[in-house]
Amino acid sequence: MSEYPKKVEMKDVKELVNKFIVLWRGEGDEACKVAVKVVDAWEEDGEVRIAYEVLTGPDKGQDFNSRYDAGQTVVVYDDDSLAVGLLET
């Protein structure tokens, strides 16, 4: 049985690298759930930053980075459990 999906606190930022997360991209009627692969993660000025490649949706293949509060928790997936994350609401 896989240990994924699992919750990871953003303060443990290095645990996110080479893992998958599901994000909402876009705004309003254009928002959609997308799978991303975290390619880098670091702390900067009290915030956590992650760089990721979008794997699904209209931004597929593009690279982005985002800021998060270090107190947040994120659900992390591996290859085998990523579909579960996309199906969950």
Residues 48, 10 contacting (CB under 8 angstroms):
yes
Q: Which domain does 36 fall in, by range?
A: 6-79
Domain assignment present for residue 33? The answer is yes
Place of tokens 């996110």: 16
Domain assignment present for residue 26? The answer is yes
What is the number of structural domains in the chain? 1
φ, ψ at 35 (rounded to 5°): -90, 140
Please report, for the domain that includes residue 67, its CATH number.
Answer: 2.30.30.870
Domain assignment present for residue 87? The answer is no
pTM over 0.85: no
Taking only the tens of pLDDT, the chain with its 89 residues reads 578 899 998 888 898 999 999 888 777 777 778 899 999 999 888 788 999 999 988 889 999 999 988 888 988 998 888 887 777 74
Residue 83's contacts (CB-CB under 8 Å, 6 or more residues apart) are none
